[in-house]
Chain A
Amino acid sequence: MSYKLQFAELLPYWNVLLYGLVFTIVLTIVSTVAGVAVGTAGAAARTFGPTWLGRIVAVYVELIRNTPFIVQLFFIFFGLPALGLKLSETTAAFLAMVINLGAYSTEIIRAGIEAVPKGHIEAGLSLAMTKWEVLRHIVLNQAFRKIYPALSSQIIIVMLGSAVVSQISAEDLTYAANYIASRNFRNFEVYLFVALAYLVLAMLTRSALRALGRVIFKAR
């Protein structure tokens, strides 16, 4: 190979990379919080809600889980304006991420809820706890403890999947890579560097989530 890799060419663009990195991190955190909230509501609706609501949630979950994220993103960004709902690329990216993670976490949290023994719910109700108290203190508490590892890996998968939002020119880390590559033509160096940045980010996210889990689910 006569080509010499020149990573120094990336240095002048450190601020572009940093901006992209922060965008990706914020995108991940916001969509995690909102997505898990959607997932909790969806899972509660599927297990305790009326049948019709459960069916709607089931359709939502299956539609999202069986189509590629990029198509969902294009549908929201290009398709919805035809119905009169115009979104900026950043809003569309956030919305698509929340909708996507919401569907996956609905399924994960539902599995956790179903693993809670029925006797616990009955015991709670017989202690004159309200439905909400039972849901909050007995069902969700145990469910989240069980599904936390699965939810963590889904969050990392979604974080890596967020690279796709660059395609509607939301300014994430991949967008920064494309931007730099289109200016200094060091495609391979840029993409290798950014790929490794994602790798480090994934590892850090994993340990952060593990640490967070230890804090939340301390000794009972």
Chain B
Amino acid sequence: MLQFSFWDILSNLLVATQWTIVLSLIAFFCGGIVGLVLLFMRTSRIAPLEWFTKIYIEFFQGTPLLMQLFLFFFGIALFGVEVSPWAAATLALTFWTSAFLTEIWRGCVESIPKGQWEASSSLALSYIEQMRYVILPQASRIAVAPTVGFSVQVIKGTALASIIGFVELTKAGTMLNNATFRPFLVYSLVALIYFCLCFPLSWWAKKIEGRLNVAR
């Protein structure tokens, strides 16, 4: 029988950690892009666009991420397309991330004083120009801390991709546990690796937040 030493377990987990990181990065960046588009729609003051984003956000914030993964995994298959766990996880996490980022950023946009909107519209800037040159540069300063904070949620969210069969850190932990029968060691290491990924981000988010409060 194959024997696993401590280093075998750790090195296998670290290999799988790469996939957690890749999936987190893709979900975060694609989610950010979708979130930005939704942000423009949400603040556009065009009723149908606002309604659409409201329902979109309500759905993705009001249902478990696990359900969304299942829906993408089985839903796309209904169209006769073979779905890999990789594709389903990427899509679900992207949409889930975008919903939360849109809400976070909307809060930042709304914290910009109304006078800024009025001043820029009296300078005949279009809505897109107002956002691009006046609102977003100011809102993005406030947005950094909560956005970094949310990236921790994205990393933790990728753990659920293990359930639809995507081999990342948690799935690797389950597989190693089945092979070695050392659940305490395996899951301690898995938790520790997640902690090493997330804690620096949490700490950084807190630090930026503190700096913003001083400036005020």
Q: Are B70 and A191 in contact (CB under 8 A)?
A: yes
Q: Which of A26-34, A49-57, A70-78 contacts B (4 or more CB under 8 A)?
A: A70-78
Among the listed B64, B163, B187, which residue makes an inter-chain contact with A160, where contact means beta carbons less than 8 Å apart?
Answer: B64
A125 interface contact, C-beta 8 A? no
Minimum C-beta distance from B191 to chain A (A): 5
The residues in A between 22 and 77 inclusive whose CB is less than 8 angstroms from any CB of B are 62-63, 65-72, 74-75
B63 interface contact, C-beta 8 A? yes
Minimum C-beta distance from B193 to chain A (A): 9
Task: Name the CB-closest residue of B to A156.
Answer: B62
Say which size band chain B's interface belongs to: 35 or more
Residues of chain B with a CB closer than 8 A to A203's CB: 62
Minimum C-beta distance from A164 to chain B (A): 6
Q: Are B173 and A71 in contact (CB under 8 A)?
A: yes
Residues of chain A with a CB closer than 8 A to B187's CB: 71, 74-75, 78-79
The number of residues on chain A lying at the interface, defined by a beta carbon within 8 Å of a beta carbon of chain B, is 42
B27 interface contact, C-beta 8 A? no
Q: Are A78 and B152 in contact (CB under 8 A)?
A: no
**Interface positions of B (Cβ within 8 A of A):** 58-59, 61-68, 70-71, 74-75, 77-80, 152, 155-157, 159-160, 162-163, 170, 173-174, 177, 182-184, 186-188, 190-191, 194-195, 198-199, 202
In the complex, 16 of the A-B residue pairs with CB atoms within 8 angstroms, ordered by the A residue number, are: A62-B202, A66-B194, A66-B202, A68-B159, A69-B156, A74-B170, A78-B187, A79-B184, A79-B186, A79-B188, A81-B183, A82-B184, A164-B163, A195-B67, A195-B68, A199-B58
**Interface positions of A (Cβ within 8 A of B):** 1-3, 62-63, 65-72, 74-75, 78-83, 156, 160-164, 166-167, 174, 177, 187-188, 191-192, 194-196, 198-199, 202-203
Apart from A65-B198, A160-B65, A188-B71, what 9 extra A-B contacts exist at CB < 8 Å? A63-B195, A67-B195, A74-B183, A82-B183, A160-B62, A167-B163, A177-B67, A195-B67, A195-B71
